[in-house]
A and B are shown apart, each in its own frame.
Chain A
Amino acid sequence: MKNLKNYLLRGTPSLLLPIGAGFVMASSSDIRAALGMGFAVLVVTLLSSIVVCLIKKFTPEKFHLPIHVLIVTGFVSLVDMLMQAYVPNVVTMLGVHLAALAVSAVPYRETIEVAEVSGMKKTVISALITGLFFTVIMVACALIREVLGNGSSFGLEIAFLANYKISALAGAFGGYLVLAIVLAIIRAIGEKFVDKEEN
């Protein structure tokens, strides 16, 4: 179960690393954007981890980072092209943050901490859980922010919320506030779950 906790925490680096908080905040004001970013993170993390795992025997230790950068950037570019073709509105919503995924902590932590040191099965499972959990966190934040902040869901207005929306939640302040709340909930659940397993 300790591994599960590690997966969860690795999947939410933005909850642990202040540097990632802005990344989640910027992409979680709309559920469609959150799902789009979740998909991108999942695919990039999974494919990058698989490739790193496959070539790890040939990569000198001191060159891990530049090689991983090239691999992750390549996959980000491919995902970007796919999303531009099929979900252009989501790409517009994500803006520069989709390209910035190439330098995000999420895939790098996976490639360095798991793919470089583990077998293919564990790498794939870890990448999948990390990507899925990242998506869940993004969507949870987006649900709160879009529904309560914009009075809409998937871009469609919720009529009865029109007069009750809390606009601040849709902005940067609301983004960090919701992130803090979700962080607290995840940590509380995670700690309790792991403690129970350890007992």
Chain B
Amino acid sequence: MKKNDLLKALFIMVLTVIISVGAMFLLNLHTGPLIEQNNQGAELAPLKAVMPDAEGFEAIYDSENPSASSLKDVDAAVLKIYKETSGKGFVFRVSAVSQYTKGSTEYTVGVTSDGKITKVQNDVYSESQALVPGFLDSFTGKDSALPGVEVTGGTTYSSKALKEAVESGLNALINNDLIKAGVKSDAQILTELIPTVFPGITSDGALKADAVTPSGNIESGYIGQNGAGCAFIMKQGDESFLAVCNNLNVCKVYNKEGADVTAEHTDLVTEALTAAATNAQTYYNKAVTKFTKMMTGATNFVSIDIEVFDTVVAAVEFEVESVKYYGFYSKSFGFEIMDVYYVLDSEGKIVKMTADTFIFHEEYFAGFGGMPSGYTQGFVGNDSTSFDENTAIIAGATMTSNAMKQSTKDIFAAFEKAAVGGAE
């Protein structure tokens, strides 16, 4: 290799680099701002979508670096908060984790400076499909009280997760005095009380119920999708009350502070029980039919009044050859709603147990190895003290197993209440 060639090559290479860098510098004068604009546009596009009249956005909170923000008391579900630069409001991004899928989805929410939601949006089509139809739109125009944004039926897990995530974002703004809190109506407060006082018609804290037609003092109401009872928002004078009725002829009335005021409102109790009677009768009839098949010679069926607000939809006592038995029919929320029937003897021990269907849509359970042999027999002979929750486990069917545990716990609780209340 000639030294001259090496120097020549080096010179050309250096010159090439200098020219390239120079060209890039000149080109960057033109393309740099456009690229910056494009990058910002990609990040800001979802923000613009929920607040189209926004002039610009300034990030005021980032969950990846919360200490850099002056905002305090921001829930972990809140990923980023932006302030609209001309004072129109705020946009936040939140992550909602569905109790059912365990997957998280990001949503973008726009809020005006007076605390009204402009729009809630997600960009993942499959997750939108998992929501109750029209649920995203139900947020538009609402304040932090979220009136009318109800998670009551259909695919509630994703919807509940979204509602909670939106509430987290709104609370972050309220906690930092960026917007004012909305005021909840009495009906809202009472509706939110339902999961506490009637857990039997909820699943993972979400009310699983369908709306009922208002009548008389009943302003609005719900009937549990599992049929375990009804919840009514009732108005008397200027005051609103929540009346919850199980199918076991018991009704409780609560005021908006959550206090039990049943004794002072017996007229509401009567009205609520009348409204709930058809539902109660339906499950009583089903229970009688089923227990007649389960226990040959069963006769003298009598329904039992029990003050429980769980998944028990019917409770009866009956006789077989002069021996008294108790039949409990529970409908709990598993992969689908499960119809489970138990017959207990007078000591509270399970004599028989069965379900209409244990495993729904078997093909969806990759780890399902079939029903364990003698599964129902495993329950027999157990009472509330000897029952081991592991008895209810079906490998590969977690939701069904949990539903079976719930039903079994609930019927034992109902039996104990019935015994205390003088079912004998």
Chain A contact residues, CB within 8 Å of chain B = 55, 58-60, 62-63, 66-67, 70-71, 73-74, 77-78, 81-82, 84-86, 88
Q: Which residues of A contact B76 (CB under 8 A)?
A: none
Check B20 against A60 for contact (C-beta < 8 Å): no
Given A62-B5, A85-B38, answer yes or no on A67-B31 (Cβ-Cβ < 8 Å).
Answer: no
Contact of A59 among B9, B31, B39 (CB under 8 A): B9
Given A78-B24, A81-B24, A82-B27, answer yes or no on A67-B12 (Cβ-Cβ < 8 Å).
Answer: yes
Least CB distance from A112 to B in Å reads 16
Q: Which residues of A contact B42 (CB under 8 A)?
A: 88
Least CB distance from A34 to B in Å reads 21
Least CB distance from B43 to A in Å reads 12
Ordered by A's residue number, 24 sampled pairs between the chains whose C-beta atoms are within 8 Å are A59-B12, A60-B8, A60-B9, A62-B9, A63-B8, A66-B13, A67-B12, A67-B13, A70-B17, A70-B20, A73-B20, A74-B23, A74-B24, A77-B20, A78-B23, A78-B24, A78-B27, A81-B35, A82-B31, A84-B35, A84-B38, A85-B34, A85-B38, A88-B38
Q: Which residues of B contact A70 (CB under 8 A)?
A: 13, 16-17, 20
In angstroms, Cα B39 to Cα A86, docked, is: 12
Further pairs besides A62-B5, A63-B13, A70-B20: 6, Cβ < 8 Å:
A67-B9, A74-B16, A74-B19, A74-B20, A85-B35, A88-B35
Q: Which residues of A contact B23 (CB under 8 A)?
A: 74, 78
In angstroms, Cα B24 to Cα A59, docked, is: 23
B30 within 8 Å of A (CB atoms): yes
Q: Which residues of A contact B6 (CB under 8 A)?
A: 60, 63
Contact of A58 among B12, B19, B24, B35 (CB under 8 A): B12
In angstroms, Cα B12 to Cα A59, docked, is: 7
B28 within 8 Å of A (CB atoms): yes
Least CB distance from B12 to A in Å reads 6
In angstroms, Cα B1 to Cα A55, docked, is: 20
In angstroms, Cα B233 to Cα A154, docked, is: 54
In angstroms, Cα B39 to Cα A178, docked, is: 34
In angstroms, Cα B6 to Cα A77, docked, is: 26
Check A81 against B31 for contact (C-beta < 8 Å): yes
Scoring B residues 35 to 63 as 1 if CB is less than 8 Å from chain A, else 0, what string do you get? 10011001000000000000000000000
Least CB distance from B298 to A in Å reads 54
Q: Which residues of A contact B38 (CB under 8 A)?
A: 84-85, 88
Check A58 against B31 for contact (C-beta < 8 Å): no
Q: Which residues of B contact A85 (CB under 8 A)?
A: 30-31, 34-35, 38
Task: Please indicate which of the listed interface residues B5, B19, B24, B38 has the most CB atoms of chain A within 10 Å of its own CB.
Answer: B38
